[in-house]
């Protein structure tokens, strides 16, 4: 079984708490543990804020969520024409991976730099924050489709969680 949700949102700062609260409400209803929900909410907020900051004017973005096999996978997609700011490393194509503890690298290296962000910097912490609270982080960017921030988080359940029952009754698939 797989549960999916897709939000099509305007590039507006007011959409960040909306996406976070809608997702958190769904996860709460399924019985996901509060600490897991908090990590997902933080990662979604950072990814949405990043899209809003870097997308071109008037563009929309999407938040795609799926839960399957005890994992929540989220993609925040700048659905614009790619006219926004390029990823932090300046590339416009290819994939980047920064999974914690995996040592995985996409073409050209990790998406999240290993060096610290200067204390006086106003930006540059979002991907580091996401990477710190999720199990897998990947960035994909191309001229035509925009940028996708993909991350995954293993779901921890409250006792007798309806979501865990739904997944277990279906054999977890």
Q: Which of 103, 106, 100 is nearest to 154 (CA)?
A: 100
- Residue 78 pLDDT class (50, 70, 90 cuts): confident
**More confident site: 1 or 155:** 155
- Residue 57 pLDDT class (50, 70, 90 cuts): low
Q: Percentage of the chain with pLDDT > 70?
A: 66
pLDDT tens-digit series, residues 114-159: 555 555 445 556 888 899 999 999 988 766 667 889 999 999 999 9
Query: What is the chain's mean pLDDT, rounded?
Result: 77
- Residue 42 pLDDT class (50, 70, 90 cuts): very high
**Strands across the sheet with 60-68, in order?**
3-10, 60-68, 71-78, 146-154, 136-142, 95-97
CATH number for region 3-109+123-169: 3.30.565.10
The H or E element spanning position 164 is: helix 162-169
> What per-residue confidence (pLDDT) applies to 107?
33
> What per-residue confidence (pLDDT) applies to 97?
45
Point out which residues pair with 138 in neighbouring strands. 97, 150
State pTM to two decimals. Answer: 0.76
**More confident site: 143 or 35:** 35
Domain ranges of the chain: 3-109+123-169
Give CA separation, 141 vs 44, 107, 167, in Å.
Answer: 18, 12, 32
The distance of Cα 138 from the centroid of its chain, to the nearest Å, equals 9
> What per-residue confidence (pLDDT) applies to 103?
34
CA–CA dist 87, 106 (Å, integer)? 13
Count of other CB atoms within 10 angstroms of residue 152: 19
Side-chain-side CA neighbours of 152 within 13 Å: the count stands at 15
User: Do residues 133 and 43 make contact, with C-beta atoms less than 8 angstroms apart?
Assistant: yes
Secondary structure in 3-state letters for 92-127:
CCCEEECCCCCCCCECCECCCCCCCCCCCCCCCCHH
């Amino acid at each position: 079984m797989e549960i999916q949700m897709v939000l099509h949102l305007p590039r507006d700062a007011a959409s960040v708490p909306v996406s976070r609260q809608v997702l958190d409400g769904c996860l709460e209803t399924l019985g996901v543990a509060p600490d897991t929900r908090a990590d997902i909410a933080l990662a979604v907020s950072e990814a949405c804020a990043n899209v809003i900051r870097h997308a071109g004017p008037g563009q929309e973005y999407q938040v795609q969520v799926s839960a399957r096999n005890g994992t929540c996978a989220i993609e925040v997609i700048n659905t614009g024409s790619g006219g926004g700011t390029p990823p932090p490393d300046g590339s416009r194509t290819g994939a980047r991976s920064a999974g914690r503890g995996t040592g995985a690298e996409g073409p050209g290296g990790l998406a999240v730099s290993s060096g610290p962000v200067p204390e006086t910097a106003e930006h540059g912490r979002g991907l580091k924050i996401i990477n710190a609270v999720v199990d897998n982080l990947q960035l994909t960017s191309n001229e035509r489709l925009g940028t996708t921030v993909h991350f995954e988080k293993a779901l921890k359940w409250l006792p007798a969680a309806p979501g865990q029952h739904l997944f277990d009754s279906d054999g977890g698939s």
